[in-house]
Amino acid sequence: MANAIVYVLVEDGVTNLPIADPVFTPSSPFVVVGSEGNPPRLAVAGGASWMIGVQQGTTISVSAPGYAAVVVTTFGGPGVPFVGTDPQMPIRAILFAILFPIVVLGDSIQWGQGLNPGTVGGPASDKMAEIVGAELQANFLVPHPAAGFKVLRFAQSGATINTALNSASTSTVSVTAVTAFPGGEVPAGLLPPPVPTILDQAAGAQQVQGADNQTSSFDSIQLVLLDGGINDVGLFTNILNPFVDQATLLARTNAACGGTLNVPGASALAPMNATTGQMSNLLTAVGKAFPNAVVVVTGYYQILSEFSDVSGLVLAVGILTGSVLPELLGPAGWLASVLVGDIAAADVASSVIAKCAAFKAFSDASLASAVDLANTASNGSFSAQVKGVTMTAPRFIFVPAPFLPVNALFTGGSDGADEATNTAPAFLWGFDPALGEISNILDTDVGTGSILGGILGGVLFGPFGAIFGSTAGGLEGADIAITTILGELSPVDEVSAQRLGPEGACAVSGNAGAVGCDLASVGHPNIEGEAAYARAVFDRLFFMFGTTLPNMGLVTNNDTR
């Protein structure tokens, strides 16, 4: 029988990138693989092919760890020349991962607060990474029936990028497993310290293997979704705080989400001699942990806007902030002063809305800057020689949240009234009861307290006592109203049952009944909002996985041509 040398190019079916460690199993025991029994790899046009000695009639099974095997034929039949003997036209063995792993790092946005995680054989997940994975499977993994995807989520609600804005540490807590559901629903601020940061997540994700051992090794992870920065800035202490000046907010945003530190005051919040923000540090770590991955950084949205229901906005902000800063909810807190008219509600609303808009705009700019810097690093892009020309594609991609001001909280539907229909413009979870019902409770309790206080003060101390008593009574009435409302509020998200109740995640963590745990979904993307996020991510990935990388024939950063 005739013998020949054939060339086999083994590629990933999703990215068309060469696979570095294929296994060849020939059908004939007489096949000689290379001169030393190991197939040598030759750099040829179109890719680095494997040179294999075969006999006529031989078929070769080609596989790789984590990939389903395929069979290639070295000839077309008796008397037909061998296929693949021309090194410029190798046999192409296209392998598809049994499970295409997607690593997810970040805070409550990437965790998917309040969203159904899905079950095997049951309802599909409503979370961003799973939606993106399903789209990838439908568009790129279909050719092989064994192909699928697996989400490895390390994100945790409330996670910060680092322990503090001015911290130079990179990892302090050991992460040994993916974040379990529903444990990730409990905000990190309500968990006993130490709580893993996003830098900790990145370090742990590099080491953790899939529980079923069917995922690829982490040096071959091809997709990472991440976010981070809002908790380092301080959602309640800075973004939703009407009395923090905007300059402070911008400096903290630049220090957390940058990129280049180019805002006055940002450098003072960074570790000594640092010239970039915390997100740049995170992307450096992720780039090293997953050297061959496309890394998608998602942006944040404007939480409250001019379209939000201002009548209930101040109350909602006060109560949600008070879940983190309890002193706000007492008679001495600013919320009660607003409710009795000592502080103008319109001024508070205007300040908070302006800060939400500023954070959206400047976090986008800072995150984009961090991504641009990451792409200029030595491992920041894929590169390849195409017809003698060096071509590159960025590894790091920034995807802004595709939300408009009309999609903000309390713009219609996010109070729970029509959440299930997904027809309202609000892309964020709200709560029950509706803001109008809450306002009625306030008007009743504050008004009653003011009247009773005025009467009592007038009887005891005369006209001046009546004025003082009315104010004091109003404050006490406001306090009663706040307490009443806290007992009335309930979440409207998909997994509230897994957080609430004696066996829920909040109870297990010691936070049963805590407003910050019960209402943890408020202000996070609802089903419609998450779908919009996922679509924006996939639209960007489509060009990377479906067009740019295959057309360029790009190789991984561990490979050369």
> Is 60 contained in some domain?
yes
- The pLDDT tens digits of the residues spanning 318-336 come to 766 665 566 555 555 666 6
Going by pLDDT thresholds of 50, 70 and 90, the confidence category of residue 34 is very low
pLDDT score of 336: 63
Model confidence at 227, pLDDT cuts 50, 70, 90, reads very high
Q: How many domains does the chain have?
A: 3
Strand order in the sheet with 91-95: 41-44, 47-55, 3-12, 91-95
Q: Is residue 170 part of a domain?
A: yes
- Omega cis (within 30) before 502: no
Could you tell me if 428 and 524 are in contact, meaning their C-beta atoms sit under 8 angstroms apart? yes
**Whole-angstrom Cα distance, residue 189 to residue 45?**
54
Residue 128 lies in a domain: yes
Task: Specify the DSSP element, H or E, that contains 11.
Answer: strand 3-12
Is the same domain home to 461 and 529?
A: no
pLDDT number for residue 160: 95
The string of pLDDT tens digits covering residues 53-98 is: 777 667 788 888 777 788 887 765 667 777 778 878 888 888 877 7
Listed residues 64, 95, 126: the one ending a domain: 95
Question: What's the pLDDT at 111?
Answer: 96
Angle, helices 345-375 vs 246-257, to 10°: value is: 30
For residues 427 and 400, state if they share a domain.
yes
Average pLDDT of the segment spanning 9-33: 71
| CATH number of the domain that residue 210 is part of | 3.40.50.1110
How far does Cα 506 stand from its chain's mean position?
22
pLDDT of residue 458: 36
**Is 559 contained in some domain?**
no
For residue 429, tell me if it sits in a domain: yes
Note whether 427 and 302 are within 8 A (CB): no
pTM metric for this prediction: 0.76
Smallest CA-to-CA distance from 173 within 202, 194, 158 is with 194
Residues 22 and 159 grouped into a single domain: no
> Would the pLDDT of 142 be above 50?
no
Is the domain of 374 the same as that of 458?
A: no
Checking DSSP bridges between strand 294-298 and strand 223-226, what pairing results, if any? parallel
E strand residue ranges, 67-183: 70-73, 91-95, 100-105, 149-153
Give the Cα separation of 125 and 139 in Å (integer).
18
Range of the domain at 474: 437-488
Q: Provide the pLDDT confidence category of residue 355 given band limits of 50, 70 and 90.
A: very high
Q: Are residues 169 and 42 in the same domain?
A: no
- Are residues 373 and 420 located together in one domain of the fold? yes
Bigger pLDDT: 116 vs 120: 116
Q: Is 499 helix (H, G, I), strand (E, B) or coil?
A: helix
At residue 405, the pLDDT reads: 93
On whether the CB atoms of residues 384 and 402 are closer than 8 A, the answer is no
Q: Flag whether 557 is in a domain.
A: no
Domain identity same for 518 and 454: no
Say if residue 81 is in the same domain as residue 105.
no
Q: Are residues 172 and 286 in the same domain?
A: yes
Residue 43 has a CB neighbour count (10 Å cut-off) of 11
Residue with tokens 């060469």: 18
Q: What is the pLDDT of residue 549?
A: 66
Does the residue 560 lie in any domain?
A: no
Reported confidence tier of residue 363, pLDDT bands at 50, 70, 90: very high
* Domain boundary, last residue among 95, 111, 130: 95
Domain assignment present for residue 84? The answer is yes
In a shared domain, residues 33 and 52 = yes
- Note the pLDDT tens digit of each residue in 489-546: 788 999 998 888 788 888 888 887 777 888 889 899 999 999 999 999 999 988 776 6
More confident residue, 344 or 185: 185
- Rounded to 5 degrees, φ, ψ at 549 are -65, -50
d(CA 31, CA 330) in angstroms, rounded, equals: 82
**18, 70: one domain:** yes
Assess whether 41 and 152 both reside in one domain: no
Identify the pLDDT of residue 402.
Answer: 95
Question: pLDDT at position 558, please?
Answer: 37
